[in-house]
Amino acid sequence: MTLNELEQYFETLGEKKFRARQVYEWIWQKHAHSFEAMTNLSKELRQRLLDNFSLPALGVDATQYSADGTIKSRFRTVDGHLVEGVLIPTDDRKTACVSSQIGCSLSCKFCATGYMERRRNLDYDEIYDEVVLIHQQSERVYEKKLSNIVFMGMGEPLLNYKNVLKAIERITSPDGLGMSPRRITVSTAGVAKMIRQLGDDKVKFKLALSLHAANDLKRNEIMPINETNNIKALIDALNYFYQQTGNEITLEYILFKDFNDSRQDADELVKVYRQIPADLVNIIEYNPITQALFAKPDDDAVEKFMDHLEKNRVNARLRRSRGKDIDAACGQLANKE
């Protein structure tokens, strides 16, 4: 319920409107998981709320700790579904990698989640709970607040558009977590229509495109979504997004041995980069999964690829994977035991 709806409800009970604000704070700022915890309400009022409402909060089902400090959590929804989120710590930031769907419908060939069935979208409050639980974990383990959020977990955020935007509204709201939208990045496999919608909605967060191949033939092979959202359509949509918002855009590119790591592939990536107002290209190490036969290129091939980008004045960064030993790295989330 919105704050207004809560206020109307309390008025029908003959209660003061400020009671709604108290309950709202307990839910969104103090993260209460029961009405009993709302100690500044009378016992009678708490019982009445318990009789009429539920608080379907996400819970932590299992936690794994990586040797590199990464923490993976498996969350359980009220209706029994499982979904994963990751806390990625570095010296200067603590990043939550959160999921937006239970499973995924896009079937990207290199991603463990892509081999799962999409069960349903996460509701906005479930996404919010993911962030809160990872935030609490960061404070408990590292004594640091969460500094960044990336929507790079399970699912395609732009196919759960309304819930993702509503979750971000709550996360950035002063009566929510109060986090700056500039510290949030939404990553998409490339839904051109919804990228344009982000521009129309004048969102304030950053956007990342999972490119992974810079020509349509190869991208079709590993990312079926490219057949209906080709690279030209994505370039046009990203330019529109930038014109409308001025927000930072990142390109994500996983290197696969003998597939997209050649000099020609690098040239094609340079060509795409020059058509998009991208701030950065993240070159990502491939993390093997049992369902796919892709392999990680050797260090020499990676170095040559990076050198070629640098010579062509591409702002590229090699992103080392975190949490590989607990299947928490990019492309490995699959609710495994």
Tens digits of pLDDT across the chain (337 residues): 889 999 999 999 999 999 999 999 999 999 998 999 999 999 999 999 999 999 888 999 999 999 989 999 999 999 999 999 999 999 999 999 999 999 999 989 888 888 888 999 999 999 999 999 999 999 999 999 999 999 999 999 999 999 999 999 999 999 999 999 999 999 999 999 999 999 999 999 999 999 999 999 999 999 999 999 999 999 999 999 999 999 999 999 999 999 999 999 999 999 999 999 999 999 998 888 888 888 999 999 999 999 999 999 999 999 876 766 766 556 555 655 4
- Please tell me the CATH superfamily of domain 59-326, with its number: Aldolase class I (3.20.20.70)
Quick check: 20 and 9 in contact, CB under 8 A? yes
**Active site annotation includes 330:** yes
- Is the torsion defined by CA of 193, 199, 201, 205 positive or negative? positive
Q: Which of 130, 248, 330, 337 is catalytic?
A: 330
**Token match 């399970």: residue?**
154
Task: Answer whether 315's CB lies under 8 Å from 281's CB.
Answer: yes
C-alpha triplet 86, 82, 68: angle, nearest 5°:
20
As assigned by CATH, the class of the 3-52 domain is mainly alpha
Question: Per the residue annotation, which of 84, 126, 156, 252 is the catalytic one?
Answer: 84
Q: Which residues of 191-211 are buried (b: 16+ CB within 10 A; e: fewer)?
A: bbebbbbbbeeebebbbbbbb
**Cβ atoms of residues 139 and 123 within 8 Å:** no
Classify the C-alpha dihedral 2-7-11-14 as positive or negative. positive
Which DSSP symbol is given to 3?
Answer: H
Residue 300, judged by CB atoms within 10 A of its CB (0-12, 13-18, 19+), counts as: exposed
Q: Distance between CA atoms of 109 and 46, rounded to whole angstroms? A: 50
**Residue range(s) occupied by CATH 1.10.150.530 in the chain:** 3-52
Residue that has been written with the tokens 């709320």 in this structure = 49
Prediction pTM value: 0.92
> 219 with 105: CB under 8 angstroms?
no
CATH 3.20.20.70 boundaries in the chain: 59-326
